[in-house]
């Protein structure tokens, strides 16, 4: 996916994936991450997700990474976060409250950003990427995350011939191909979510399932 594609989505306000509520699967499953107080949560490809504000309300620190400046500024404005703009790791960085939001390409974020990460929240990040980028993304996570780091991963599965991504369909077998060598994988739940996704139904989907996984970086051999 070209960066221009995403920047244009934000400029045109075509952000059908954005939710005005906190994702119910995050609320239902945050306990799976077994977070200590003030944990540092990485939210890759974070958009303007209110899930970040919810993590902060639970007392955690959020490190978000997002290409679009508009997305990050929308988030800060809507959540009334007083902030300063700095440059960290060579990237524009918005710092305020419990947030450190980096504006740039996730694939170029330096390794040191990952050193202090306690957990990862991936909603609509892996599934935003086309197949070959999903491999790079999973490889990067395996290379950078410390052993023991848990990720709450939400995927969507549908018949890819019914609709072009994004979001892309990511099957259970692909999740295992991408992560099994380096992560312990446990499936938390799979639900039929077609009803709540009118936008995707209008794009042609006749079936849509959301799966929540807990994946934990294994010890390095
Ligand atoms: C489908 S949206 C999901 C946003 C968010 N996770 C949510 O749940 O609302 C994907 C987001 O990833 C951003 N994005 C795409 N490629 C990226 C990259 N290489 N680095 C950082 N952000 C990226 C897009 O701008 C977009 O905001």
Q: Domain ranges in the chain?
A: 1-12+50-116, 123-221
Which atom of ligand 1 is the closest one to the Cα of 71? 27
Quote the pLDDT of residue 1: 64
Quote the pLDDT of residue 133: 97
Quote the pLDDT of residue 19: 96
Tokens of 219: 């010890």
> 85-115 burial, b for 16+ CB within 10 Å, e for fewer?
eeeeeebebbeeebbbbbbbebeebeeebbe
pLDDT class for 221, splitting at 50, 70, 90? confident
Q: Considering the domain 123-221, what is its CATH architecture? A: 3-Layer(aba) Sandwich (3.40)
- pLDDT tens digit string along 145-184? 999 999 999 999 999 999 999 999 999 999 999 999 999 9
- Tell whether ligand 1 has an atom less than 6 A from the beta carbon of residue 156: no
- pLDDT tens digit string along 11-48? 999 999 999 999 999 999 999 999 999 999 999 999 99
CA of residue 221 to ligand 1 center, whole Å: 32
pTM value is: 0.98
- 42 vs 152: CA distance, rounded Å: 11
Closest CA to 128 of 10, 63, 40, 46: 46
- pLDDT tens digit string along 47-98? 999 999 999 999 999 999 999 999 999 999 999 999 999 998 889 999 999 9
- pLDDT tens digit string along 115-150? 999 999 999 999 999 999 999 999 999 999 999 999
């Amino acid at each position: 996916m070209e960066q221009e594609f995403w920047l244009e989505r934000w400029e045109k306000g075509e952000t059908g994936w954005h939710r005005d509520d906190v994702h119910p699967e995050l609320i239902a499953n945050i306990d799976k991450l077994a977070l200590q107080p003030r944990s540092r949560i990485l939210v890759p490809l974070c958009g303007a997700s209110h899930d970040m504000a919810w993590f902060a309300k639970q007392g955690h620190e959020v490190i978000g990474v997002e290409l679009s400046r508009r997305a990050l500024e929308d988030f800060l404005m809507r959540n009334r976060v007083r902030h300063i703009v700095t440059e960290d790791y060579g990237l524009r960085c918005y710092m305020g409250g419990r947030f450190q939001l980096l504006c740039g390409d996730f694939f170029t974020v330096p390794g040191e950003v990952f050193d202090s990460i306690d957990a990862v929240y991936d909603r609509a990040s892996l599934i935003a990427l086309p197949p070959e980028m999903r491999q790079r993304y999973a490889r990067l996570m395996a290379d950078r995350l410390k052993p023991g780091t848990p990720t709450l991963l939400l995927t969507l599965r549908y018949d890819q011939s019914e609709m072009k991504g994004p979001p892309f369909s990511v099957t259970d077998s692909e999740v295992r191909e991408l992560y099994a060598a380096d992560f312990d994988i446990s499936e938390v739940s799979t639900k039929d979510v077609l009803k709540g996704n009118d936008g995707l139904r209008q794009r042609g989907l006749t079936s849509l399932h959301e799966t929540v996984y807990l994946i934990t970086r294994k010890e390095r051999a």
